Amino acid sequence: MSLKIYNTFTGKKEDFVPVVPGHVKMYVCGVTVYDRCHMGHARAGVVFDFVYRSLKFLGFETTYVRNFTDVDDKIIKRASERGITCDELVDENIKAFYEDMDSLFLKRPDHEPRATRYIAQMQDIIKTLLAKGLAYEAGGDVYFAVEKFPEYGNLSKRHLDEMEAGARVAVNEGKNNPLDFALWKAAKPGEPKWPSPWGEGRPGWHIECSAMGRDLLGEEFDIHGGGKDLVFPHHENEIAQSQGACGKPPARYWMHNGFVNINKEKMSKSLGNFFTIREVTQKFDPEVVRLYLLSTHYRSPIDFADEYLREAQGTLDYLYRALHRAEILPGFDYNFDPNKADEISDNILEKLKGALEDDFNSATAVALLHETAKKLNLAVSSVKHNSVGISYVSVAGYYSALRRIGDVLGLFNYEREGYFKRITVFHLREIGISEYEIQTLVDRRDSARKLKNFIEADAIRDKLLNKRIEIEDTQFGTKWWVHR
Ligand SMILES: [Zn+2]
């Protein structure tokens, strides 16, 4: 089998044929940096990070571009509300973006261009579109004339006639057709502005991706990605601009991830029903969030609720425990080469390849992770009981496969006990008790026991149990852990 990708443009799963054999060029629309990122942004970020990792696993050389929209109506409005400059707002939110995305273990793309650094390239495309008669000036603004581009609507499967029937021109807008969109906007007082042949102003939103994509990846690249909400108008307009100027669509494959829903409604800032990444990673470890987001295929909608994250937490605990059980086997070589070929891991990785080649099926990869952890557990038990035919070789094979699948999914970033220590912190935060408070109670119980005051000792034990803290008296002293 070879890689197949669902292409929004054709509505079909297609064989993937890159422009340059062996090299994938991918452009993903990034965020408008006017506020903190929410779980919708986390999904797009994690999904395309997984696509990036998958392409590398499949042996492609990959060039990945993800932009920042750093000039836009929302940025101007928010900066003026807060009494700071647009630059200050943008810098603050780009810093926060990296904190959030790094916390989710996203690999940095090869290029992360900012729109305002590409004004000249945008103006070049606008000049070409004007020269070709596909755009027109109106009072310092420049608009794209959608009627002049017969393919308009092909990506989003909309017909111009139907769209026109539903559209209305706002007063004072100099558009010929209500569906025409701005390539350049005349400057308004107090807004960021750049000189141009059409007077001072700033670019429209869509033109930036046409310019940055072409500049960094060429006139025709392989994959263009983003959230489903970008199909129309953003990507539709981008095709019109790029194809209008260069004669061919910018990308061969258009990939769009589904929404994160709450009660069947899309999570979005405009609807006000959103959770920021930091709110969620206060309650759940970022790896749990990753596993939850990748447990569903990227094109399907995903429901957001604490109970689903708890489920992912349970799965991740199971996976880490399986790794840990192997690592503490006497004689287990923790530092063995995970890339060394062996029959067991090769077979499993062949299955992983099949899942990735099937339109990046992360849900199948997650199922494979589970299946492999189960086999690893069996192999570890067999070694412990000296079963015939099962050896360290099997343990190493399953262990190595598990880590490799985890690597493609962006999991197992923590070492050994590190994960369980982190998870304990999340549990204690949820329960509302600190490690210090627990230790104080444990010490008081120890003292009571020494004084043979078993009534008090038992009362303290019950108090801890009520908070899901279990204790055990061992020869090394009293141990405690959180009961899940
Ligand atoms: Zn874009």
pTM for the model stands at 0.93
Q: How confident is the model at residue 399 (pLDDT cuts 50, 70, 90)?
A: very high
How many Cα atoms are found within 13 Å in the side-chain-facing hemisphere of 375?
21
For the ranges 140-149, 296-305, 459-468, 472-481, the lowest mean pLDDT is seen at 472-481
**Residue 160, domain member (yes or no):** yes
Query: Are 182 and 41 in the same domain?
Result: yes
**Residue 424, domain member (yes or no):** no
Q: How confident is the model at residue 416 (pLDDT cuts 50, 70, 90)?
A: confident
Domain count, the chain: 3
Query: Are 230 and 351 in the same domain?
Result: no
Query: Are 209 and 289 in the same domain?
Result: no
Residue 100 CB partners (closer than 8 Å, separation 6+)? 36, 37, 41, 42, 276, 277, 278, 281
Residue 349 sits in a domain whose CATH number is: 1.20.120.640
Query: Are 61 and 208 in the same domain?
Result: yes
**Residue 274, domain member (yes or no):** no
How many Å lie between the centroid of ligand 1 and the Cα of residue 225?
A: 9
Query: Is the pLDDT at 458 greater than 60, yes or no?
Result: yes
How many Å lie between the centroid of ligand 1 and the Cα of residue 5?
A: 20
pLDDT at 171: 47
Query: Are 83 and 226 in the same domain?
Result: yes
Query: Are 128 and 25 in the same domain?
Result: yes
Phi, psi of 45 (to 5 degrees): -60, -50
Query: Is the pLDDT at 134 greater than 90, yes or no?
Result: yes
pLDDT at 331: 75
How many Å lie between the centroid of ligand 1 and the Cα of residue 256?
A: 12
Query: Are 299 and 258 in the same domain?
Result: no
How many Å lie between the centroid of ligand 1 and the Cα of residue 213?
A: 9
How many Å lie between the centroid of ligand 1 and the Cα of residue 66?
A: 9
How many Å lie between the centroid of ligand 1 and the Cα of residue 182?
A: 15
How many Å lie between the centroid of ligand 1 and the Cα of residue 120?
A: 17
Residue 12 sits in a domain whose CATH number is: 3.40.50.620
Over range 278-288, report the average pLDDT. 96
Query: Are 251 and 381 in the same domain?
Result: no
Could you read off the pLDDT of 226-263 as tens digits, one per residue?
999 999 999 999 999 999 999 999 999 999 999 999 87
How many Å lie between the centroid of ligand 1 and the Cα of residue 368?
A: 34
Over range 121-144, report the average pLDDT. 97
Query: Is the pLDDT at 168 greater than 90, yes or no?
Result: no
| Residue 43 structure tokens | 């999904």
Average pLDDT score, the chain: 93
Higher-pLDDT residue of 212 and 174 is: 212
How many Å lie between the centroid of ligand 1 and the Cα of residue 206?
A: 6
**Residue 273, domain member (yes or no):** no
Question: Of all helices (H) and strands (E), which one includes residue 58?
Answer: none
Q: How confident is the model at residue 264 (pLDDT cuts 50, 70, 90)?
A: confident
pLDDT at 265: 82
How many Å lie between the centroid of ligand 1 and the Cα of residue 274?
A: 22
Higher-pLDDT residue of 471 and 221 is: 221
How many Å lie between the centroid of ligand 1 and the Cα of residue 21?
A: 25
Could you read off the pLDDT of 43-99 as tens digits, one per residue?
999 999 999 999 999 999 999 999 999 999 999 999 999 999 999 999 999 999 999
**In this prediction, what percent of the chain has a pLDDT beyond 90?**
80
Question: Of all helices (H) and strands (E), which one includes residue 443?
Answer: helix 435-450
Cβ neighbours of 81 (radius 10 Å):
9
Round to whole Å and give the CA distance between 153 and 176. 18
| Residue 479 structure tokens | 């141990």
How many Å lie between the centroid of ligand 1 and the Cα of residue 341?
A: 41
**425, exposed or middle or buried, with CB in 10 Å at 0-12, 13-18, 19+?**
middle
Query: Is the pLDDT at 334 greater than 80, yes or no?
Result: no
Query: Are 220 and 139 in the same domain?
Result: yes
**Residue 425, domain member (yes or no):** no
Query: Is the pLDDT at 28 greater than 50, yes or no?
Result: yes
Query: Are 369 and 293 in the same domain?
Result: yes
Which of 235, 266, 297 is the endpoint of a domain? 266
Query: Is the pLDDT at 417 greater than 90, yes or no?
Result: no
Query: Are 191 and 255 in the same domain?
Result: yes
How many Å lie between the centroid of ligand 1 and the Cα of residue 253?
A: 15
How many Å lie between the centroid of ligand 1 and the Cα of residue 98?
A: 19
**Residue 272, domain member (yes or no):** no
**Residue 279, domain member (yes or no):** no
How many Å lie between the centroid of ligand 1 and the Cα of residue 150?
A: 22
How many Å lie between the centroid of ligand 1 and the Cα of residue 115?
A: 10
Structural domain of residue 468, as residue ranges?
433-482
Query: Are 242 and 317 in the same domain?
Result: no
Round to whole Å and give the CA distance between 42 and 276. 9
**Residue 191, domain member (yes or no):** yes
Over range 365-375, report the average pLDDT. 98
Over range 132-160, report the average pLDDT. 95
